Amino acid sequence: MEKLIVKGGTRLEGTIPTSGCKNAVLPIAVAAAILGDGVSVLHNVPNLTDVNTLCAVLEGLGATTKLKNSTLYIEPINHLEYEAPYELVRKMRASIYVLGPLVAKLGKAKVSFPGGCAIGPRPIDLHIRGLEHLGADVTVQQGYIYAQAERLTGTEMYLMGQHGPSVGATANIMMAATLAKGTTVIRGAAREAHISDLAHFLNAMGADIEGIGTSVLTIRGVKHLHGTEHSVISDDIEAGTFMVAGAITNGDVYVEGITERQLPAVSEKLVEAGVELDWDNNGVRVTTPRELRGIDVTTEPFPGFPTDMQAQIMGLLCLASGTSVISENVHTDRFIHAAELNRMGADIMLDGSKAVITGVSKLSGAPVMASDLRAGAVLVAAGMAAAGETVVSRVYHIDRGYESLEEKLNNIGANITRVND
In one letter, which amino acid is 124?
I
**Going by C-beta distance under 8 Å and a sequence separation of 6 or more, which residues neighbour residue 58?**
29, 30, 33, 34, 65, 74, 77, 98
| Bridge partners, 13 (sequence order) | 252
CB 105 within 8 Å of CB 179: yes
In one letter, which amino acid is 292?
L
117 assigned to active site: yes
User: CA-CA distances (angstroms) from residue 198 to 230, 263, 265, 362?
Assistant: 10, 18, 22, 42
| Bridge partners, 218 (sequence order) | 185, 210
Would you call 308 helix, strand, or coil by DSSP? helix
User: CA-CA distances (angstroms) from residue 76 to 25, 43, 171?
Assistant: 16, 17, 19
Q: What whole-number distance in Å separates Cα of residue 191 and Cα of residue 189?
A: 6
Q: What whole-number distance in Å separates Cα of residue 45 and Cα of residue 25?
A: 7
Of 21, 55, 117, 318, which is the active-site residue?
117
Q: What are the DSSP calls for 67-116, one per residue?
A: EETTEEEEEPPSS--SEE-HHHHTT-GGGGGGHHHHHHHHSEEEEEPP--
Would you call 22 helix, strand, or coil by DSSP? helix
Q: What whole-number distance in Å separates Cα of residue 191 and Cα of residue 177?
A: 17
Catalytically active residues are 117
